[in-house]
Structure 1
Amino acid sequence: MRFGYTLMTEQAGPRELVRHAASAEETGFEFEVMSDHYFPWLDEQGHAPYAWSVLGAVTQVTERVELLTFVTCPTMRYHPAVVAQKAATISLLSGDRFLLGLGAGENLNEHVIGRGWPPVNVRHEMLSEAVEIIGDLFDGEYVNYTGRHYRVDSAKLWDLPERRTPVGVAVSGRQSVERFAPVADAMIATEPKGELCRAWDEERAQVGEDSTRKFGQLPVCWDPDREAAERRAREQFRWFGGGWKVNSELPGPASFAGATQFVTQSDVAGAIPCGPDPEAVVQAARPFADAGFTDLALVQIGGAQQNGFFDFAATELLPELRKAYF
């Protein structure tokens, strides 16, 4: 298993995120993923800069790490033809270190354009068309497209990287796996479900394709004071336990605050490793390894604690994780 670092646009401003990206590479993380939101989940997180501008800057302060969107929704705020152009540009700026992570989106971010929030089956249809359009544009020719949800009129990407930009798609159940496993280069999921990994490989095998990488994500809250870590995790990440099916429907931070008002500090501490013990993180990573995930992005909760976390990761955490799962 490879281990990455999450650039959380919900808990740090753009300049801080660029510094974190450089530090994460120096620390020894092998890849970095970036969320792409218009809102934070909770007011306490306090940030939401434009991910693509930050990614452009990150390409210039890193040299080795792979970069991913985790994930971009190419259906409402962004037209898929524009996402393809952005992805190709980041690939060029990074020297072919970019993987485009896509997902069906959240009401939290997409409602801002005033078009409402479609049901999940429609969102999957939209994402399917978007993946097709992006793939056609990555071929480098003029693209005309007429679908149920999108039109493209004589579009072409004029600046393409030598390596075709790989595409990962976020999945949460069998329906999304069946749609996207045959056409994606990687799987993305937030829960360590072995059935997702197995179904993904089965669907790919049915169309004669090999297995692919599978990216997961694990929140942690490092702090030398375990009690302080638990308080911070509850304050900023109590939304995490709602699950994708619930979280994707909520329209704003006030909704997440209301939905999680009865989540206790002990509830969060039971789900997220908190404090200075690397073994707690090693054990929390085990379900992902057992499920078949090949890559795991860690989320350090708390924008002001990143420097301490990087020291901890370099000297204690990453060596223990690699000893356990390499």
Structure 2
Amino acid sequence: MVQIGYTMMTEQAGPRALVEHVVGAERAGFDFSVTSDHYFPWLDSQGHAPYAWSVLGAAAQATSRIPLMTYVTCPTTRYHPAVVAQKAATMQLLSEGRFRLGLGSGENLNEHVVGSGWPAAHIRLEMLEEAVEIIRALFAGGYVNHHGAHFDVESAKLWDLPDRLPPIGVAVSGERSCELAGRTADLVIATEPKGELLADFDRHGGTGKPKIGQLPVCYDTDRDAAVARAHEQFRWSVGPWPVNSELPGTAAFAGATQFVRPEDVAETIPCGDDVDAFVEAVRPYAEAGFTEVALVQIGGDHQLPFLD
């Protein structure tokens, strides 16, 4: 049975609202939750980007059952991996064992803000692998010194470590990232229902590990309103990931999607209130082998009707 999760999408709601939403998701019976970790929204129309880790800390205190997870954090540019390890360990303690650390190679949209440039894709994967190595070393306890190709760690130690360490997930989009995830991760993350990604993950050591996908939906009793909202706020999602990871800001995403029509978005995102359409959208993930699927309800002001 595929577990169904809820997405706290930081790009479309402020911090207090996000916490209220995940409380509602727990009350509604969702199996788990995930949280995006952005510095920018994808489009100006989404309008938000609070600090995800503060939101997660508040959510840990406001809920008692629902698992929490970053989906995903980039531990290479905006954050140093030693700091990510500290944040994840603290979140696991605050949530009493409900936290999972989802990691990825990031997007220019969010990482450019620190002014260190945006590396090529193969360099980003090298950096991600080294970051995972550092995080796991700190999770193991004791002092860590590391001088690698991309990161330095000088006499670092986590003073507050949970008994049960946060599982680490790695986001994948191709064979190289699947190989990395299979070797280094406790679970895999993907945003498309591609069975070949999971097969590559399994081939490199991922067999039997959780496989987590994500699906945008736009629930509304008025289907036309749902389609319009999905187009206004989520047309960026129709672009290929190699392009999305390179664009530097909301203006670039607006320009890249200026010719995307509402009907184009409605072909990939279930809109309206037909439950069967939502089920059919989840089905490819289940058939591909995903064990968990997190739904994204589009529209920060339209969460409570969806949850109800």
How many residues align? The count is 307
Distance in 2, matches of 1:202 and 1:211, equals 11
Corresponding position of 2:62: 61
Q: Tell me, yes or no, if structure 1 residue 81 matches structure 2 residue 56.
A: no
Structure 2: which amino acid aligns with 1:153? Answer: E
Corresponding position of 2:221: 224
- 2:181, 2:187 within 8 Å by CA — same for their partners in 1? no
Q: Tell me, yes or no, if structure 1 residue 300 matches structure 2 residue 297.
A: yes
Corresponding position of 2:258: 261
Moved more, 212-221 or 177-186: 177-186
Q: Deviations over 1:3-52 (max 9, x none)?
A: 00000000000000010010000001011100000000000000000000
Q: Deviations over 1:104-162 (max 9, x none)?
A: 00000000011110000000000000000000000011100010000101100000111
Distance in 1, matches of 2:226 and 2:216, equals 12
Distance in 2, matches of 1:194 and 1:77, equals 31
Corresponding position of 1:16: 17
Q: List aligned pairs for 1:1-326, cutoff 5 A.
A: 1-204=2-205, 210-311=207-308
Corresponding position of 1:314: none
Distance in 2, matches of 1:213 and 1:166, equals 10
Q: CA deviation at 1:210?
A: 4.4
Distance in 1, matches of 2:174 and 2:301, equals 35
Distance in 2, matches of 1:269 and 1:203, equals 36
Distance in 1, matches of 2:32 and 2:283, equals 19
Instruction: Say which SS state the counterpart of residue 296 (structure 1) adopts.
Output: strand
Provide the TM-score with structure 2 as the length reference: 0.99
Distance in 2, matches of 1:231 and 1:172, equals 29
Distance in 2, matches of 1:271 and 1:249, equals 22
Instruction: Say which SS state the counterpart of residue 135 (structure 2) adopts.
Output: helix
Distance in 1, matches of 2:89 and 2:207, equals 24
Distance in 1, matches of 2:306 and 2:207, equals 36
Distance in 2, matches of 1:247 and 1:304, equals 25
Instruction: Say which SS state the counterpart of residue 18 (structure 1) adopts.
Output: helix
State the identity %: 65
Question: Which runs of structure 1 show a deviation greater than 6 angstroms over 4 or more consecutive aligned residues?
Answer: none
Distance in 2, matches of 1:33 and 1:178, equals 23
Distance in 1, matches of 2:21 and 2:115, equals 33
Instruction: Say which SS state the counterpart of residue 181 (structure 1) adopts.
Output: helix
Structure 1: which amino acid aligns with 2:64? Answer: E
Instruction: Say which SS state the counterpart of residue 271 (structure 2) adopts.
Output: coil
Structure 2: which amino acid aligns with 1:121? Answer: H
Q: CA deviation at 1:71?
A: 0.1
- 2:168, 2:187 within 8 Å by CA — same for their partners in 1? yes
Q: Deviations over 1:202-257 (max 9, x none)?
A: 110xxxx7420000000000001000000000000000011211100000000000
Distance in 1, matches of 2:137 and 2:181, equals 16
Q: CA deviation at 1:180?
A: 2.2
Instruction: Say which SS state the counterpart of residue 162 (structure 1) adopts.
Output: coil
Instruction: Say which SS state the counterpart of residue 260 (structure 2) adopts.
Output: coil
Q: What RMSD, in angstroms, separates the aligned Cα atoms of the two structures?
A: 0.7
Distance in 1, matches of 2:260 and 2:207, equals 42
